[in-house]
Amino acid sequence: MADELAIDVRGLTKRFGARTAVDGIDLQVRRGEICGFLGPNGSGKTTFLRMLCGLLRPDAGSGTCLGYDVIAETRSIKREVGYMTQRFSFWEDLTIAENLDFTARMYGVPNRRRAVRESLERLGLLERRSQLAGQLSGGWKQRLALAACLIHHPKLLLLDEPTAGVDPKARRDFWEEIHLLADQGMTFLITTHYMDEAERCHRLVYILEGKLLAHGTAAEVVAHARLTTWSVSGPNLARLAEQLRGQPGVRQAAAFGAALHVSGDDKAALEEAIAPFHTKEYQWRPIESGLEDVFIHLMDQSHSGGSP
């Protein structure tokens, strides 16, 4: 079983002064798996990624990444991991090809020129090889960053909000490439705020304030929350939401497009709470709870002191 795991850590913890950024997280990710790492800003996702790839030393916990000890063998981990940060971190006054060549030099990639050309071809960058990185759009910067992450043939990619600020087509193309690489045996741990991207992952992990609150497939995470959700449409939904939020049994009332999603974890209590609002001006219908319903619920429950 251990040989099947690319990531196998327990109790991983990181503190910055009095603040605990990552609080005793256990995580196992199988080789060839795409694991979505979700949570609001400031929840500890980036800190966790940096501990995995050896950029930060954990204050507590143990485990392995690609079979190497996360505390004692960080140099070996760095050679086999690609890390794509939130912000574009390449040299904007160098061309695409020059950026890739520099990255290949840092990793000591053999046959560097061939490796650079193969990276350019794979990510569709060959015709733009002489373009300055600083002149690229968000989607092309993303392709360059991914090409640089892959140039040393890593076994694990840690991607921190890789599609932030890129257009829908670039996001779709990116995820198609990710699934192709996963089919070839590469492992991914990807942070994202997009629910459609979360649903593309094989498994999900959700953390809040450094603590792991949910994990499993998208279907398992939704089922475990045991939420009942109704969709309601009609006039002045903002006023209706305020009225509903004060009712016992209503865990959340959140706008979704032209409708309101009203959820609770006690079906009978929820139906009793919304019964007075079943008037002619509103159209109510029960719906399947979605990932976003569940994650909003987890956030609200944590902030109110409830147990997930």
Q: Give the HSE-up count for residue 74: Cα atoms under 13 Å, Cβ half-sphere.
A: 13
pLDDT tens by residue, 81-106 = 999 887 767 888 999 999 999 999 98
Q: Is 200 a domain residue?
A: yes
Q: Is 3 a domain residue?
A: no
pLDDT band per the 50, 70, 90 thresholds, residue 303: low
Q: Average per-residue pLDDT in the chain?
A: 91
Q: Over 60: is that where the pLDDT of 250 sits?
A: yes
User: Which pLDDT belongs to residue 304?
Assistant: 55
Q: Is 35 a domain residue?
A: yes
Measured CA to CA, the distance from residue 250 to residue 277 in angstroms comes to 13
Same domain membership, residue 143 and residue 236: no
**Domains: count for the chain:** 2
Same domain membership, residue 248 and residue 192: no
Query: Cα–Cα distances in Å, from 96 out to 75, 104, 131, 288?
Result: 27, 12, 6, 46
pLDDT tens by residue, 256-271 = 889 999 999 999 999 9
Report whether 67 contacts 55 (CB < 8 A).
Answer: no
User: Which pLDDT belongs to residue 302?
Assistant: 66
Here the CATH number for the domain that contains residue 238 is 3.30.70
Same domain membership, residue 165 and residue 40: yes
pLDDT tens by residue, 41-71 = 889 999 999 999 999 999 999 999 999 999 9
Domain boundary pick from 216, 240, 268 = 216
pLDDT tens by residue, 227-249 = 999 999 999 999 999 999 989 99
Same domain membership, residue 191 and residue 244: no
Sheet containing strand 283-287, edge to edge, reads 252-256, 259-264, 228-233, 283-287
Here the CATH number for the domain that contains residue 197 is 3.40.50.300
122: closest CA among 33, 184, 30? 184
Q: Is 17 a domain residue?
A: no
Q: Is 82 a domain residue?
A: yes
Domain boundary pick from 155, 185, 216 = 216
Element (H, E) at 260: strand 259-264
Same domain membership, residue 161 and residue 50: yes
pLDDT band per the 50, 70, 90 thresholds, residue 2: low
Q: How many residues does the chain have?
A: 308
Same domain membership, residue 210 and residue 130: yes
Query: Cα–Cα distances in Å, from 2 out to 73, 143, 147, 185, 203?
Result: 17, 33, 29, 16, 18
Same domain membership, residue 200 and residue 95: yes
User: What's the mean pLDDT in 167-192?
Assistant: 91
Report whether 21 contacts 45 (CB < 8 A).
Answer: no
Same domain membership, residue 234 and residue 139: no
Q: Which residue has the higher pLDDT, 110 or 303?
A: 110
Same domain membership, residue 202 and residue 80: yes
Question: Worst-scoring range by mean pLDDT, 91-100, 132-141, 194-203, 298-307?
Answer: 298-307
Q: Is 1 a domain residue?
A: no
Same domain membership, residue 136 and residue 95: yes
User: Which pLDDT belongs to residue 307?
Assistant: 44
- Burial degree of 252 (CB within 10 A; 0-12, 13-18, 19+): buried
pLDDT tens by residue, 120-176 = 988 889 999 999 998 988 888 888 988 999 999 999 999 998 887 778 888 888 899
Instruction: Using a pLDDT cut of 90, give the percent of the chain over it.
Output: 71
User: Which pLDDT belongs to residue 30?
Assistant: 96
**Residue range of the domain that includes 137:** 30-54+74-216
pLDDT band per the 50, 70, 90 thresholds, residue 308: very low
Q: Is 235 a domain residue?
A: yes
Three-state secondary structure of 162-180: CCCCCCHHHHHHHHHHHHH
Neighbours of 176 (CB within 10 A): 11
Q: What is the pTM of this model?
A: 0.87
User: Which pLDDT belongs to residue 122?
Assistant: 85
Instruction: Using a pLDDT cut of 70, give the percent of the chain over it.
Output: 96
Same domain membership, residue 258 and residue 168: no
Domain boundary pick from 175, 190, 216 = 216
Measured CA to CA, the distance from residue 266 to residue 254 in angstroms comes to 17
Same domain membership, residue 244 and residue 186: no
Measured CA to CA, the distance from residue 103 to residue 181 in angstroms comes to 20
Report whether 194 contacts 37 (CB < 8 A).
Answer: no
Q: Is 68 a domain residue?
A: no
